[in-house]
Chains A and B, each alone.
Chain A
């Protein structure tokens, strides 16, 4: 014991240097395929014909584009609220069941996450086209978004709820709280971390969704993702597209900071991350 202790500083230091070598191939990969592409976006967003400029960003932040962003946020909010309203009861009911039954049933709620999301969206397109006149309306886009993101709301809430210590609920009942009160004052607050990570998993991706609005909205509902697509692919205007992407990134980072803050105040471990 003593011997290893005395040896430790030197040898451990030497080993650590050697072991970190294993990360080098990845670091190179990351530099080329994560960092460099992001720098390219920044480059196109902040340069014009004459050199460095903020013009692209200012131009991209025009009223029409911002209205599209607001529309996307509105859609994402509706989606998040609907997913929460539909998904929380599912998670709650599952968590109340016997462990083995809940485990099996929860698989069925999570399976759709593993199925090609484009095919599932396409299935709705066919269905709505054949049996309703809803296709190519805003409601169809909303339906498709709720449908796609619902499992992402159920899963984190369910995992929080099954970890919840039952004795809290029993204690609340023993102290005279009725089931409604127990739910509102004990279960709901304790499931907040799950709710918040569910909101994060639904709100942010649904702000930037791209294919759903094209398939179910038929191009009539323009969301921010469609706008970026248009700039890059249809108009081949990389500066404008990159500027829009940068605005989107800033928006996502701001929303994430809010979510992280909410997470921390509800007592979930944040763990030294920047975002």
Chain B
């Protein structure tokens, strides 16, 4: 009885928290099928908002900018960052510590300060192109996340492997390509994913460092007062949730299988 009551209360609490986290988005999604312009006043079902979404060049442009900046900046940051991690890992302790600490700056710095500092630099050197500015800014704030997800993997793997590859006749480049990189692949992939999602989501740094070319966050901010097309929330929400569920369900299923396996082994013993 007591455990059941406990279960009921914990279920209710978690449910309420989920409602708190999802309600605003879900309500926006529901009303993206509403004919009326005002929220909370249901006048009939329609796909008009969606049709309008794809007819609004500001939105489609912002979508393209967001996705392309995320793709390019995360790939560039992953390549640069992985190489950097391999290099840092092989450095002397003192140099490594210094560089690691500087690398942490964009993570420690408030986004606002990072954005403004980049804005000052771009103004100082006279770089005007908004898209290039966004790319540079995103690569810069993505880099530390890649480096610090690759470095732990390098620490786990053995330096011997690299040296063995050299002894067996690999050039350093080949050794990195064929031995080191496969060994640290999980770190590289998680760095890439993190960089991509961070880039998709960024507002503050883009807002200050950018110049005229808007990503989705900047578009939403700029049009918040006159209202944003509610269909946009569906366009953003559904793919993210689906993707994350697919990725996680796979790992959860693996975990459950592993659990079953280990319990079987336990029984045998």
Contact = CB atoms under 8 A, between A and B. Distances in A.
Interface stretch (A26-34, A51-59, A163-171): A26-34
A115 B91 contact: no
Contact of B166 (A15, A34, A105, A107): A15
Contacts of A225: 110, 112
B189 interface: no
14 contacts: A22-B87, A41-B116, A99-B256, A105-B14, A111-B240, A118-B217, A119-B216, A119-B220, A119-B228, A126-B230, A242-B116, A248-B113, A252-B108, A275-B108
B28 A126 contact: yes
B83 A147 contact: no
A225 B201 CA distance: 19
A20 B87 contact: yes
Given A15-B172, A232-B116, A248-B113, A35 B240 contact: no
Contacts of A249: 109-110, 113
A19 to B, nearest CB: 4
Nearest to B243: A114
Contacts of B236: 115-116, 119
Contact of B256 (A100, A109, A123): A100
Nearest to A101: B252
A26 B101 contact: no
Count class of interface residues, chain B? 35 or more
Contacts of A35: 102
Contacts of B208: 232
B263 to A, nearest CB: 11
B28 A111 contact: no
A37 interface: yes
B244 A111 contact: yes
B90 interface: yes
B13 A108 contact: no
Contacts, number: 251
Given A147-B24, A204-B110, A211-B204, 11 more contacts: A16-B91, A23-B83, A23-B85, A34-B102, A99-B259, A107-B245, A114-B201, A116-B220, A119-B232, A249-B109, A252-B108
Nearest to B31: A126
B44 interface: no
Contacts of A151: 21
Contacts of A44: 120
Interface in A160-209: 204-205, 207-208
Interface string B182-197: 0000000000000001
Nearest to A228: B112
A93 B10 contact: yes
Nearest to B81: A26
Given A93-B13, A103-B248, A108-B18, A29 B240 contact: no
Contact of B140 (A34, A93, A109): A34
Given A23-B91, A27-B99, A147-B20, A38 B105 contact: yes
Contacts of A21: 87
B240 A114 contact: yes
B27 A22 contact: no
B118 A33 contact: yes
Nearest to A26: B84
Interface in B221-269: 221, 224, 227-228, 230, 232-233, 236-237, 240-241, 244-245, 248-249, 251-252, 255-256, 259
Contacts of B221: 118, 211, 214-215
A107 B224 contact: no
Contact of A125 (B18, B140, B224): B224
B99 A23 contact: yes
Contacts of B139: 29, 33
B40 interface: yes
Interface string A118-131: 11101111110111
A118 B172 contact: no
Nearest to B258: A99
B122 to A, nearest CB: 9
Nearest to B260: A100
A100 B252 contact: yes
Nearest to A241: B116
A211 B220 CA distance: 11
A144 to B, nearest CB: 10
A209 to B, nearest CB: 9
Contact of A103 (B39, B83, B90, B255): B255
A86 B221 CA distance: 28
